[in-house]
C-alpha cells in the first residue's frame, strides 16, 4: 500500500474521498497538496523522505498528531516534548513543522531558538536547503525564495519570515510586517556547562519566562523540545509550569504500569555484560553477540524499545555500558536526583602468593566476600602510574591534596593501588611523593598539572626538598580546559563497568568523595583519580638510553644544589645528574610530556 493510500484512508472515509474525486484518478499534485495540508505525518514522510526513511514509531506519530491539533487552536498555545536523544524530535518540530506552516501559510513569522546562534543557523539552513533543493517540494510548491535569503534570517515568496537566534537573545518586540512571532521553536536551548551553574540556569529561565514567552501574540504557538541534561536543567524545571497545553515525555524504553520495560531475564544480561566488559578478552564484542544470539528469545522477553528499527534493545544495553547516569538522563529522560549516588564502583584485594612469591591483584565481590571470578593479575606484570592534585594548606578548611597510584594490567583493567588524600603542606606532599615512589619505584609517569606544579615547586619548602625527588618521572600536564565536573564525571563508566577497581581495604576518603559526589565539598580524590586514569591510558614508554619527550622546567634566580653544593641538572632519564660548572643559575627539573 502506497504512503498516500495509507494516510488518505487513515484521514478520510471512502465517501469523503469519493466526493473529492480521488477514487477514479491517479495521484497527482493537487491530491498530494490537499492531503499534506491536513495530515502532518503525510507531509513529513512524503516531502522529507530523506529524513523519514524508517517507519515512524508510535511516539513520533503522536508528536505529529500534536502538531496538527496545535495548529487548529485559535489561541496562544504551549507544547512541551521531552524526547530521548536520537528520537527525531528536531526533525519533526524544528524542520518539518516550520516547513509545513510556511508552505501552507499557517504561520508568518517563525523564530527558531537554540543554545547557540551557530546551532540555530544550522536549523535555518536545513529549512532553506529543503526549499532550494528538495525536488518534491519544488515540484508541488515552486520556487519560494524571497528578497532576503540569508543563512540566519530569510523570507519566502509567500511572505513568511524565518529567524534563528541563540539563547539569551532579546526577541520581545520583534515584528515582521504586521506579525509578531507566531511560531517559536525552542530546541535544546541549554548546554552542559550552563546547567551546572545556578546563576546561568536562573538567567536562562528568566529570559525564557520574561522575554521569549512574552514575545508572541494572541495566536502564537510555542514549541519547546529537548533532552534533559541534568536534574536541575531549565527544561526540567519549566516542564511543570501550568502554561503548557500538552506535555510529552518519551523515553527510549517506555514505561509499562509505571516501570521501564527492561528485559525480564536480567541474569542473562549480567552474563552478557561480564563477557562484553572483559578487557582481557580481545574478542569480547563478538563473543557477547554470540551469547545474545544464542539466548535472544529469553533475553528479549519483556524488553521494549520505543523505536526498535533505529534502537534495537540489544543496542540500548550496549549504550548503557557507557554509563547509566548518562543513559538515564539522555535516553530515559530521568536524570539522577542529586540525592542519589552518581558513582558505583567495584573493588579488588591485594593477595600475596607464597608459592609464586609475588603480589596478586584480585577482583573482589564485596557482597559475597570472595573473589569475583574475573582474572587476577600479578602486580609485577602491570605498568604503574601516579597523579598528584596538590593543595597548599593544612588548616581544617583547606582543600585536600591527593596522591593516586594506579596499576594498568595487561588485561587493560586498572587497579587503584593507593589513594593518599590528606591536608598537608607542600613539603609534606613532596615527602609523601618520595615515600610512595620508594614503595613503587616502577612508576612510569607521575602527573601533576602545569600551573599547580610551578607554584608548588616554587615554594621555599619545595626548594628544600626538591633534591630528594631525583628519579620521579613527573609529567608536566597542561591545565585542563574543560570543566572540573565534566572531567570527574567522565570516569563514571570506567568505575561502573569495573574497568577501574578500588581497593576493598581502605581508601575510605576516596570512596567517600565518590559516594557523595556531587554533593561533597571536596573532590580532590576523584579529580586526581581522573588524572591518573588519563595518564595510564598512555602506551607503555619504550626503553631507551635517553630521555623521550623531556624538557627542563626552570625557576629563574634559584640554584638547586645537593648537600655537597653541586648543581643538579637533568640526566635524560627522568632524574638529576651533577655538573661541574655552575654557569646556569637556575633551578632545573625534568618534565615529561
Quick: pLDDT tens for 292-326.
999 999 999 999 999 999 999 999 999 998 878 78
**In the chain, where are the structural domains located?**
57-64+73-250, 256-330, 346-536, 550-592
Q: Quick one: pLDDT at residue 544?
A: 33
Quick: pLDDT tens for 82-125.
999 999 999 999 999 999 999 999 999 999 999 999 999 999 99
What is the DSSP code string of 441-503? TTEEEEEEEHHHHHHHHHSHHHHHHGGGGTT--EEEEPPP-S-HHHHHHTTHHHHHTTSEEEE
Q: Can you state the angle between helices 313-320 and 266-276, rounded to 10 degrees?
A: 60
Fold of 346-536: Nucleotidyltransferase; domain 5 (3.30.420)
* Alpha carbons 163 and 179: distance in angstroms, whole number: 13
Tell me, rounded to whole angstroms, the distance of Cα 554 from its chain centroid.
Answer: 38
Question: What is the mean pLDDT of the segment spanning 47-51?
Answer: 96
Pairing of strands 255-256, 259-260: antiparallel
37, burial (CB in 10 Å: exposed 0-12, middle 13-18, buried 19+): middle
pLDDT at residue 214 tops 60: yes
Q: Quick one: pLDDT at residue 460?
A: 37
More confident position, 70 or 452: 70
pLDDT at residue 16 tops 60: yes
Q: Residue 361: helix, strand or coil by DSSP?
A: strand
Quick: pLDDT tens for 513-553.
898 787 677 889 999 999 999 999 976 554 433 333 333 33
> Could you identify the residue written with the cell 525480564?
264
Q: Quick one: pLDDT at residue 563?
A: 36
373, burial (CB in 10 Å: exposed 0-12, middle 13-18, buried 19+): exposed
Which of 331-345, 405-419, 504-518 is least confident?
A: 331-345
Same fold yes or no, 57-64+73-250 and 346-536: no
For residues 300-337, one letter each, b for 16 or more C-beta atoms within 10 angstroms of the residue's C-beta and e for the rest, the string is: beebbbbbeeebebbebbbbbeebbbbbbbbbbbbbbe
This model's pTM is above 0.75? no
Average pLDDT of the chain? 85
**Closest residue by Cα to residue 561 from 470, 491, 488:** 470
Domain with residues 57-64+73-250, CATH architecture: 3-Layer(aba) Sandwich (3.40)
> Cα separations (Å) of 257 from 254, 317, 448, 534?
10, 21, 51, 43
pLDDT at residue 156 tops 60: yes
pLDDT at residue 223 tops 70: yes
% of the chain surpassing 70 pLDDT = 84
Amino acid at each position: 500500500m502506497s504512503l498516500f493510500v495509507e494516510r488518505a484512508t487513515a484521514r478520510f472515509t471512502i465517501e469523503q474521498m469519493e466526493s473529492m474525486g480521488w477514487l477514479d484518478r491517479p495521484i497527482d499534485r493537487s491530491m498530494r497538496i490537499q492531503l499534506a495540508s491536513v495530515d502532518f505525518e503525510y507531509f513529513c514522510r512524503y516531502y522529507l523522505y530523506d529524513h523519514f526513511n524508517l517507519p515512524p514509531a508510535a511516539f513520533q506519530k503522536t508528536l505529529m498528531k500534536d502538531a496538527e491539533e496545535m495548529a487548529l487552536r485559535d489561541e496562544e498555545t504551549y507544547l512541551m516534548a521531552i524526547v530521548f536523544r536520537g528520537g527525531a524530535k528536531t526533525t519533526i518540530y524544528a524542520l518539518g513543522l516550520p516547513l509545513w506552516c510556511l508552505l501552507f501559510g499557517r504561520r508568518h513569522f517563525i523564530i527558531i531558538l537554540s543554545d547557540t546562534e551557530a546551532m540555530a543557523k544550522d536549523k535555518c539552513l536545513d529549512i532553506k536547503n529543503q526549499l532550494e533543493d528538495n525536488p518534491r517540494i519544488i515540484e508541488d510548491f515552486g520556487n519560494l525564495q524571497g528578497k532576503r535569503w540569508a543563512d540566519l534570517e530569510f523570507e519566502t515568496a509567500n511572505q513568511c519570515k524565518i529567524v534563528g537566534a541563540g539563547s539569551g537573545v532579546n526577541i520581545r518586540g520583534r515584528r515582521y510586517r504586521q506579525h509578531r512571532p507566531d511560531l517559536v521553536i525552542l530546541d535544546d536551548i541549554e548546554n552542559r556547562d550552563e546547567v551546572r551553574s545556578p546563576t546561568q540556569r536562573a538567567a536562562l529561565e528568566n529570559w525564557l519566562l520574561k522575554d521569549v514567552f512574552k514575545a508572541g501574540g494572541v495566536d502564537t504557538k510555542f514549541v519547546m523540545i529537548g533532552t534533559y541534561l541534568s536534574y536541575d536543567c531549565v527544561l526540567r524545571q519549566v516542564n511543570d509550569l501550568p502554561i503548557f497545553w500538552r506535555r510529552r515525555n518519551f523515553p527510549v524504553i517506555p514505561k509499562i504500569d509505571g516501570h521501564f520495560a527492561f528485559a525480564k531475564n536480567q541474569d542473562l544480561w549480567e552474563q552478557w555484560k561480564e563477557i562484553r566488559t572483559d578487557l582481557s578478552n580481545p574478542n569480547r564484542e563478538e563473543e557477547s553477540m554470540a551469547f545474545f544470539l544464542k539466548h535472544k528469545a529469553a533475553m528479549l522477553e519483556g524488553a521494549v524499545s520505543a523505536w526498535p528499527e533505529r534502537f534495537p534493545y540489544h543496542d540500548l544495553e550496549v549504550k548503557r555500558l557507557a554509563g547509566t547516569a548518562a543513559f538515564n538522563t539522555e535516553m530515559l529522560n530521568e536524570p539522577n536526583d542529586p540525592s542519589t549516588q552518581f558513582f558505583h564502583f567495584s573493588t579488588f584485594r591485594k593477595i600475596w602468593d607464597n608459592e609464586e612469591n609475588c603480589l596478586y591483584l584480585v577482583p573482589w565481590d564485596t557482597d559475597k566476600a570472595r573473589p569475583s571470578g574475573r582474572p587476577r593479575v600479578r602486580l609485577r606484570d602491570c605498568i604503574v602510574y601516579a597523579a598528584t592534585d596538590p593543595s597548599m594548606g593544612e588548616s581544617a578548611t583547606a582543600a585536600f591534596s591527593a596522591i593516586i597510584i594506579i596499576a594498568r594490567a595487561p588485561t587493560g583493567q586498572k587497579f587503584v593501588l593507593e589513594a593518599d588524600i590528606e591536608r598537608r603542606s607542600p613539603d609534606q606532599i613532596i615527602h609523601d611523593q618520595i615515600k610512595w615512589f620508594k614503595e613503587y619505584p616502577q612508576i612510569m609517569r607521575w602527573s601533576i598539572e602545569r600551573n599547580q606544579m610551578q607554584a608548588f615547586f616554587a615554594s621555599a619548602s619545595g626548594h628544600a626538598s626538591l633534591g630528594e625527588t631525583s628519579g620521579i618521572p613527573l609529567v608536566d600536564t597542561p591545565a585542563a580546559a574543560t570543566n572540573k565536573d565534566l572531567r570527574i564525571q567522565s570516569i563514571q563508566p570506567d568505575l561502573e563497568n569495573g574497568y577501574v577497581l578500588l581497593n576493598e581495604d581502605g581508601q575510605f576518603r576516596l570512596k567517600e568523595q565518590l559516594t557523595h559526589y556531587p554533593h561533597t565539598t571536596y573532590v580532590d580524590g576523584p579529580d586526581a583519580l581522573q588524572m591518573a586514569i588519563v595518564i595510564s591510558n598512555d602506551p607503555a614508554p619504550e626503553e631507551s638510553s635517553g630521555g623521550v619527550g623531556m624538557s627542563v622546567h626552570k625557576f629563574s634566580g634559584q640554584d638547586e644544589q645537593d648537600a655537597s653544593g653541586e648543581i643538579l641538572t637533568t640526566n635524560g632519564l627522568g632524574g638529576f645528574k651533577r655538573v661541574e660548572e655552575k654557569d646556569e643559575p637556575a633551578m632545573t627539573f625534568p618534565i615529561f610530556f
